[in-house]
Structure 1
Amino acid sequence: MPIPPTTYAEDLELLRASAVAAGIIASGFFRREVKSWNKENASPVSEADILVDRYLANALLQARPTYGWLSEETADNPSRLDCERVFVVDPIDGTRGFLRGEDSWTVCLAVVEDGVAVAGVVYAPMRDELYEATRDGGARLNGKPIQRRRRPGSPPVIPAAGAVHQHLQDAGLNYTRGPYYPSLAYRLVQVATGKLDAVASRRGSQDWDIAAATVILDECGMDVADVCSGFPQFNRRDVRHGALAALADMSLKPLLHAALIEVYGCPADEALTAEPTSTDERI
């Protein structure tokens, strides 16, 4: 299939408009009585997730009918593997937080080309924060270049699961436990803003959890990697990933990667089937 004629910037414009509309739809369900249930992997889904997913599938695929589709709330269609570009979508990232009434849930949209995220949007409607980036086009927050802000000399802020914290403490790292945001994508982009210095995520995240945030972090010069296989690759047959680390300070990399490998290991692909796919970790 030939490369689609649209530019990354044009794809980003489509993602941005669609994310804002999706956020409006989802916001209509927020902090109200919402039907919800658990999927086979025990992660929650709500009627809001499904409605937003249907809206996005219609809006995005009508605009780009040659693109593939991969969404958390749509049955996987292997035909995406034959597409040059693919939409990777999480209608509501952080559904548990959404259902609890926490305001950091996000709508995450990405375009992936040849396994790499080339355009991405992470939109937090209740916080009025829209993070976006295109490959080689820079990253922005609410239309302005993302500028990382940190207090000089303050210890690094790192959210992670308890077992990872234990390893970091045993290694003697001086740091502060970071705030927990149920949306993994929202956690990741805070490394770019400076609210967090690193994010450590358990094994089992999937393409839709991280694709949009990955292009944003990469454009901000942040290091993001599967600690066992390197820079994440998307739109493969198996869309699950190993433990993930994103960081702004490269001096943290050896300790953080070692802690994640010690806690979660580096399994063969088939071993990932035993891992829960929820990214709602306990800090």
Structure 2
Amino acid sequence: MTDVDTALWQSDLELIADSARQAGRVALGYFNQSPEVWWKNEGRSPVSAADFAANQKLESLLRTARPDYGWLSEETDDDAERLSRETLFIIDPIDGTRAFLAGLDLWCVSVAVVRHGRPVAGVLYAPALDELYEAVAGGVALKNGRPITVSTASVDRPGRFAIAEDVLATFPERLKHRIERVKYVPSLAYRIAMVADGRIEGTFIKHNSHDWDLAAADLILERAGGQLVDLHGGAPLYNRARVSHDELCAAAAPRLADLLNGIGERRGS
């Protein structure tokens, strides 16, 4: 990565951080105000007036500032034209809509800049908590301006994991005993941020997460010293024709290796 690239991604980071804050303030205006709700994906996923308003704010700010970038957002009809762009924005205006509608604080605005399939700038802003996570390629991960790192707790001690009970039940006994389940975190992006700042040691992500859930959090975790990988240890790629993903794990390297080995035993049983 050249100095020119670094300067560009830093400029993009400043842009998306400011835009995420503005979109977050828009969404916060609907919080606990019973916004109108619709259902998508055959009635499985809620979307609210707040999601659309925050998305509109982001689209107005970002596409005006970077008209040559592609666009992928959970709340914008997908356009295959994005596949021809080397660089694009990947957006989730409210990650954790169910939590938002339930009056819970654990939701965030997720904004990433992706270049050739991998994030180069990423921001998560949790307005109800006033928390801003940010990272740029080659830089350090920050939370409200301070560096964060993943947990360094020994793998020999039980680790705190955000993992579904039905998934944990399939793990070998030796691995189960080293995992302490934490209370469900409704925002996937925020859950990965919790791994990045060391509050939990890792998380397991069921299949069918999407680019907009992952891209910004992926970079923040990477720059905090962790990894988000598939069950073969490969990093996810973004801006493909298929925007959903298979099962993934996020953790610091020693924990990740232990988790992947255990999952391998599960899959081979």
Q: TM-score, normalised by structure 1?
A: 0.86
One-letter code aligned to 1:235: N
Q: Which moved more, 1:170-179 or 1:149-158?
A: 149-158
Any gaps of 5 or more consecutive residues in structure 1?
A: 266-283
1:83 aligns to what?
85
2:225 aligns to what?
221
Q: Distance in 2 between matches of 1:26 and 1:249?
A: 35
3-state SS in 1 of match to 2:263: helix
Query: Does the Cα contact within 8 Å between 2:74 and 2:91 map onto a contact in 1?
Result: yes
Give every structure 1 segment of 4 or more consecutive aligned residues whose post-TM-superposition deviation is greater than 6 Å: 3-6, 150-153
2:35 aligns to what?
34
Q: Distance in 2 between matches of 1:65 and 1:155?
A: 48
Q: Number of residue pairs matched? A: 262
Deviation at 1:261, TM superposition (A): 8.8
3-state SS in 1 of match to 2:192: helix
3-state SS in 1 of match to 2:33: coil
Q: Does 1:163 align with 2:166?
A: yes
Deviation at 1:237, TM superposition (A): 0.8
1:235 aligns to what?
239
Of the three residues 206, 212, 216, the one matched with 2:216 is 212
Q: Distance in 1 between matches of 2:41 and 2:188?
A: 20
Query: Does the Cα contact within 8 Å between 1:168 and 1:255 map onto a contact in 2?
Result: no
1:14 aligns to what?
15
Deviation at 1:220, TM superposition (A): 1.4
- How has the CA–CA distance of structure 1 residues 60 and 224 changed in structure 2, closer, same or farther, with 3 Å as cutoff? same
Q: Distance in 1 between matches of 2:265 and 2:65?
A: 41
Query: Does the Cα contact within 8 Å between 1:223 and 1:250 map onto a contact in 2?
Result: no
- How has the CA–CA distance of structure 1 residues 185 and 45 changed in structure 2, closer, same or farther, with 3 Å as cutoff? same
Query: What whole-Å deviation, never above 9, does each CA across 1:199-235 have from its counterpart, x for those lacking one?
Result: 1010000100000000111111202102247101000
Deviation at 1:253, TM superposition (A): 2.7
Query: Does the Cα contact within 8 Å between 2:90 and 2:111 map onto a contact in 1?
Result: yes
2:148 aligns to what?
146
Q: Does 1:64 align with 2:66?
A: yes
- How has the CA–CA distance of structure 1 residues 161 and 70 changed in structure 2, closer, same or farther, with 3 Å as cutoff? same
- Relative to its length, the structure with more strand (as a share) is 2
- How has the CA–CA distance of structure 1 residues 220 and 35 changed in structure 2, closer, same or farther, with 3 Å as cutoff? same
Query: Does the Cα contact within 8 Å between 1:22 and 1:55 map onto a contact in 2?
Result: yes
Query: Does the Cα contact within 8 Å between 1:4 and 1:85 map onto a contact in 2?
Result: no
Q: TM-score, normalised by structure 2?
A: 0.90
Sequence identity of aligned pairs in percent?
A: 42
2:130 aligns to what?
128
Task: Compute the RMSD of aligned alpha carbons.
Answer: 2.4
Q: Does 1:187 align with 2:191?
A: yes
Query: Does the Cα contact within 8 Å between 2:55 and 2:75 map onto a contact in 1?
Result: yes
Of the three residues 257, 260, 263, the one matched with 1:253 is 257
Query: Does the Cα contact within 8 Å between 2:226 and 2:251 map onto a contact in 1?
Result: yes
3-state SS in 2 of match to 1:131: strand
Deviation at 1:170, TM superposition (A): 3.0
3-state SS in 1 of match to 2:128: helix
Query: Does the Cα contact within 8 Å between 1:22 and 1:107 map onto a contact in 2?
Result: yes
Query: Does the Cα contact within 8 Å between 1:86 and 1:113 map onto a contact in 2?
Result: yes
Q: Distance in 1 between matches of 2:72 and 2:265?
A: 28
Query: Does the Cα contact within 8 Å between 2:193 and 2:220 map onto a contact in 1?
Result: yes
